[in-house]
Amino acid sequence: MLLIDTRPQAPVTPIRFVSVDTWDQVASGLGGQALAYAKATGFEPKAGRHCLLPAPDGALACVLFGLERAGAPKYDSFLPGKLATLLPAGTYEFVDLPGGAKAAEFAALAWCLSAYRFTRYRKQTSQQPVLLCPEGVDGARLRRIVEGVTLARDLVNTPANDMGPSALEKAACALGEKYGLKPCVIAGDDLIKYNFPLIHAVGRAAHEAPRLVDFVVGPPDAPKVTLVGKGVCFDTGGLDIKPSSAMLLMKKDMAGAATALALAHMILDAKLNVRLRVLIPIVENAVSANSFRPGDVCASRKGLQVEIGNTDAEGRLILADALALAAEDKPDLLLDFATLTGAARVALGPDLPPFFTGDDKLAAEIAEIGMAEHDPVWRLPLWEAYDSLLDSKVADLNNVSSGPFAGSVTAALFLRRFVEGAASWVHFDIYGWNPSTKPGRPEGGETQAARLLYALLEKRYGQL
């Protein structure tokens, strides 16, 4: 963690934030040599521009960093995160950052998230800069959020040859065991024995057996919060095989599971007053002689018979069994996360995941907190008129719709069939990947919606 709470003995370099509104005042206090150097290097107080000002002895005296005018339409509270990748090794502190403690919290968070490196296969050789935790910012809270995001990013970035079903199970169990839990794992043909036929059907063709990880923690009388994450470690598309271009990022098809584990870490580390249950159905959607087929009719835990219209719509199948189990416990809040549909990306792009719920009050709260926490989501409707698109002529329902439109909506409507019993249910159709680097969001695996939901649960339920 590149964030410290205690001022070290070594010098701490100030980072001074400037804009076109404040530059004249800041410049007047820099001194003639420093100002001359800034001008000579072409520094202007524009958003994202920076300048390293030397001291007379050649050491680094100060860093200038440009921001947009406060309140400007393009103002980005995560922009200071760029500094974590621009500055040389050393210890730094924020000075003159407008916006108070909340702005400082976002800037520090963006610094830590920007500094993320995936080093499993290529070790990092250079030292990174360290930030002194800004005054008024809860360093412990910030760390648990960054640790959760880092956990998820590492899982998503790991390729499927090292993040298959057994490895993802191990990661999920390790999180539970860290907090003194003994997770329950049901694997292979035991999924049939214990009535998880859809998870078994999707994963049975792979070399590593399908499985379900389940753990529960918290006071029995606390509000029940259940997290379900899609854990498809690699998705070939099954017999409805994907083209190679569509398979390239399919190591990230377990980003829903990674997001659930990231949020679980935040909840458990903060000791929120909830009865937390985590359910991770884990498979690889592979091709072999015993792959499930288009046209098959598969039983589900809930008893509904599902016709397979497309084997590449496998995520909703494994979620269906896990959600049915979750709903049996009648949770107060049931949240699921899945890289479920390309239609969601067509509608909203990679940075803005849609979510679905029938709870209007909760939906408004999620949308508001998402914007406030710079973890945005957008509500799409559970449009009743489209529910009939899932009708089957031979079974209770089909796993895909009969038309080419509204793919994310019909996927959510499919999942809704399996959540009866939950007081409130929310489905997040995430992307789980940053296609390009932005402040706080380096290219690669990403967790979406976890930070906003942690803030929501913290607000609703508080600590034990």
Known catalytic residues are 242, 316
* Dihedral-angle region of residue 366 (phi above 0 means left; psi in -120 to 50 means alpha; beta otherwise): alpha
Cα–Cα distance for residue pair 375/227, rounded to 1 Å: 18
Cα–Cα distance for residue pair 400/410, rounded to 1 Å: 7
Give the CA-trace dihedral at 326, 329, 334, 340, to 10 degrees: 10
Are residues 408 and 381 in contact, defined by beta-carbon separation less than 8 angstroms?
A: no
Instruction: Say which DSSP state 388 is in.
Output: G
Cα–Cα distance for residue pair 437/418, rounded to 1 Å: 37
Are residues 390 and 401 in contact, defined by beta-carbon separation less than 8 angstroms?
A: yes
Instruction: Say which DSSP state 118 is in.
Output: -
Are residues 219 and 275 in contact, defined by beta-carbon separation less than 8 angstroms?
A: yes
In three-state secondary structure terms, 389 is helix
Cα–Cα distance for residue pair 382/398, rounded to 1 Å: 17
Cα–Cα distance for residue pair 143/386, rounded to 1 Å: 43
Are residues 315 and 228 in contact, defined by beta-carbon separation less than 8 angstroms?
A: no
What values do phi and psi take at 302, rounded to 5?
Answer: -75, -15
Write the DSSP assignment of 63-101 as a string of letters: EEEE-PPTT-TT--TTGGGGHHHHSPSSEEEEES-TTHH
Q: Which residue, 431, 235, 224, is CA-closest to 337?
A: 431
CA–CA distance from 209 to each of 174, 189, 201, 243 (Å)?
Answer: 19, 8, 11, 24
CB atoms within 10 A of CB 44: 12
In three-state secondary structure terms, 57 is coil
